[in-house]
Structure 1
């Protein structure tokens, strides 16, 4: 009898992170209240209420999760697309890889970027209905409204420009040419400058909002910047570098000098600014360490480290700065943090692989605001594993409180799953293979799933697709296999360096 061979067809997906921005109607009397991006250091705070909403962009389920922040209650999801393999059909018309988000200055429009379908969806916050979808260039990553609500700037990361949309008609009005791979735009609180970092080129550009001219260039310590934030006093701009695990700060005014470079940790993801009774602070999600790190903006001192769970990604404060929320990309959870104590208040479920998050005060002026929402459905189903170092030919025993260097989530799409591994603890800039072994210690013949190269911090985000959960759990009469990471290539591998934890 011939032995059946299980084969996983890997699908490499370039992750493009996106933060969304708001679409709002144009008005000259927009209230300047709450936290950044539309509040200033002197703006009145907006107390947390049941009219507020927290939104997450869920990449693999192609949903937007909607949460009431008062009691961290899941209200439902806005379904923008289908899961794999339905979204592979040539007749498919939904959105793919829901990734970034933001909101309008009047808090009435949610903006959602889908990187796989090159779209920006404009959603009514009161009814959860899609008002319009604008299609832009290849792989848009982030989008944000100018503080006056007249324009939406979309960073088209797969190309070399910012697509400027009209804030009322939602149509593209012009393009601003920038270095290849613009990652995100954030604006100065006074609306004078747009700061555009890059994910492919080590340069952040400063652009005047009035005439769309580049007036400053800031050298990034490395090319991959996914996220950027401005302080409400208008003095500083902070941006993260995912490839090197650093965060940089520069002067928000000419000559836009670098003020500080911080070593924050592997898979440094998003950053946001909180102003509360204790001062002004930068909150940074460190995906490879499962932490949120907190720094003062006056002296750059780190004041807190908050353990939150697997692969924190997007982060956004409440309208009064007393809470901040982060989405766990590999943990399927929204985490609420008290910013006065820097303690976790609670968690609630969200869709698959949260990328961006935004908190919209007064998003629902009246009614329950649950129209059009559906249940999580299959998006609730995920299997979570971890990989640990291999020592003496066996999985290492972690000490109490020690975290596994690699977290793995298997996001159910039906009969297949999207595997996502947040890998850390490896040699920088080296080639590795994620594979399956029939032996729990990683011995014997390996079946490669996906090849990858670590970044300068010895980390990587690795994706593949297949019926992997059934295999690693020994279901459906399949011979059980175990996930391992080995140095080398698909054609030639060495002994495993990380193996699936028992």
Structure 2
């Protein structure tokens, strides 16, 4: 009897181990169930980042926080301007399969989902969907991939074997991102254009509940591993909302997190489950308990933190730094940054995939960072010397050969007002202004502003007499007013 019981226990342990490492191995961290075993960090794990301006996916080994190379899905500007161009543009969203063998990478500009084999870093298939998709993720059973088609009004449901769209789930215009309850029963879809998050029955592909968003612009949503809460971010008003992940799907809490609130994710540790929220306008990650919603840490990480994901054992949180071309590694025991990895240009979504690499020394289909690692940084500060918030406007100039893509993470301005990013003749913002991009601030007085051109050659300190200075002025491109922010000296 004792031998029988011993053998039975061994069989149960072996089955549990196979479940943890086999076909459905989400692990006990988001997006998986809390009951699943954690996966210790190893050289078989990979951290992937989707990089919007270099059109690459970077691949990092988390053991020593070392970049292994990039998967090049497309060319930088102006190579991707041709009508005959076949590569991907604006690589942005990212999800992975429950067996950890496939990445689904969304490219906004080319309306595509690239399916990548994690063992070989090779693109297995590219599926084209509707206008401006944003994020893609596998259902917990691995049988479907849901893609939010943000430029339209539906979720594209894709068969991960045939890579074909099998159906569509109609939503309000602008579905931003979807995530699933750990048990796979519900899909949660927040909106980027409408103040509504939809709860969908995964089995029926039918909306069964609606949750009010306090603003129209939600870029990111996540479910806690215990299956009790859903958190989503509101980028335009700088807040994070929490609602009940189960019926009646009622609102639980709204937290003022800060300007350009980007992504949220969770780490479960011996001390509890914690939400990590990236605050782009403050260059910080804020950490909250999920039981009483108290803030327990504020972590300075670098310019414009965006995507965030836990390691398979919850001991680390990884953060993509959009305006620093870097990946920050946070120790969840101390909530301190313990590593910084140079990666491609303007990382957006990131994922940590345990046991993604069967052969950890294999580098096939990976390329060197190259021009994707070239960037210059500037900062703009209030002209009058006053302080508006804790961080100045950060500006990155991402090299694309002879030109750069400029991205400014603008903070400290008046909410819902018109401004223009421009070039000035004098360092104090005086003289005629040459507009680069007109924009309107969100309700938090912030904005993400983009432009393109040989800007570094113009604003670099080594430039000749033709040098100009980046400024932000009130008004619009037709009639800019006085400068309100100038280059920090």
Question: How high is the TM-score relative to the length of structure 1?
Answer: 0.92
Instruction: Please point out which of 313, 328, 331 is paired with 1:335.
Output: 328
Instruction: Please point out which of 213, 223, 240 is paired with 1:230.
Output: 223
Task: Please list, as runs of the form range in 1=range in 2, the aligned pairs for 1:177-188 lying within 5 A after superposition.
Answer: 177-188=170-181
> Contact conserved, 2:243 with 2:251, CA < 8 A, in 1?
yes
- Give 1:475 shift: 5.0
Instruction: Please point out which of 488, 491, 494 is paired with 2:475.
Output: 488
Instruction: Please point out which of 28, 33, 41 is paired with 1:34.
Output: 28
> Contact conserved, 2:23 with 2:99, CA < 8 A, in 1?
no
Equivalent residue, structure 1, for 2:214? 221
> Contact conserved, 1:386 with 1:404, CA < 8 A, in 2?
no
Could you tell me how far apart the structure 2 residues matched to 1:389 and 1:92 are? 42
Q: What's the CA shift string for 1:343-372, capped at 9, x where partnerless? A: 110101000000110000000112513111
Equivalent residue, structure 2, for 1:344? 337
- Give 1:32 shift: 4.8
Could you tell me how far apart the structure 1 residues matched to 2:328 and 2:26 are? 27
Equivalent residue, structure 1, for 2:436? 449
- Give 1:493 shift: 2.2
- Give 1:43 shift: 1.3
Equivalent residue, structure 2, for 1:17? none
Task: Please list, as runs of the form range in 1=range in 2, the aligned pairs for 1:108-257 lying within 5 A after superposition.
Answer: 108-257=101-250
- Give 1:87 shift: 0.3
Could you tell me how far apart the structure 2 residues matched to 1:203 and 1:403 are? 31
> Contact conserved, 2:197 with 2:213, CA < 8 A, in 1?
yes
- Give 1:340 shift: 1.0
- Give 1:398 shift: 7.4
CA shift in 2, pair 1:333/1:29, >3 Å:
closer
Equivalent residue, structure 1, for 2:5? none
Could you tell me how far apart the structure 1 residues matched to 2:292 and 2:82 are? 53
- Give 1:217 shift: 0.2
Q: What's the CA shift string for 1:136-187, capped at 9, x where partnerless? A: 0000001100000000000000000000001211110000000000000000
Equivalent residue, structure 2, for 1:24? none
> Contact conserved, 1:419 with 1:465, CA < 8 A, in 2?
yes
Q: Which runs of 5+ in 1 are unaligned?
A: 1-26
Matched, 1:325 2:318: yes
Question: How high is the TM-score relative to the length of structure 2?
Answer: 0.94
Task: Please list, as runs of the form range in 1=range in 2, the aligned pairs for 1:366-405 lying within 5 A after superposition.
Answer: 366-391=359-384, 396=385, 403-405=390-392
> Contact conserved, 1:470 with 1:478, CA < 8 A, in 2?
no
Instruction: Please point out which of 43, 47, 52 is paired with 2:36.
Output: 43
Could you tell me how far apart the structure 2 residues matched to 1:473 and 1:408 are? 13
> Contact conserved, 1:474 with 1:481, CA < 8 A, in 2?
no
SS in 1 for 2:481: coil
Q: How many residues align?
A: 469
Could you tell me how far apart the structure 2 residues matched to 1:251 and 1:323 are? 26
Instruction: Please point out which of 470, 481, 499 is paired with 2:457.
Output: 470
Instruction: Please point out which of 278, 285, 288 is paired with 2:281.
Output: 288
CA shift in 2, pair 1:206/1:371, >3 Å:
same
SS in 1 for 2:371: helix
Could you tell me how far apart the structure 1 residues matched to 2:174 and 2:430 are? 41
- Give 1:478 shift: 5.8
Could you tell me how far apart the structure 1 residues matched to 2:26 and 2:260 are? 33
Q: Which has the higher contact order (CA 8 A, sep 6+)?
A: 1
Instruction: Please point out which of 416, 422, 426 is paired with 2:413.
Output: 426
Equivalent residue, structure 2, for 1:82? 75
> Contact conserved, 1:291 with 1:309, CA < 8 A, in 2?
yes
- RMSD of the alignment, in Å? 1.5
Could you tell me how far apart the structure 2 residues matched to 1:478 and 1:456 are? 39
Equivalent residue, structure 1, for 2:395? 408
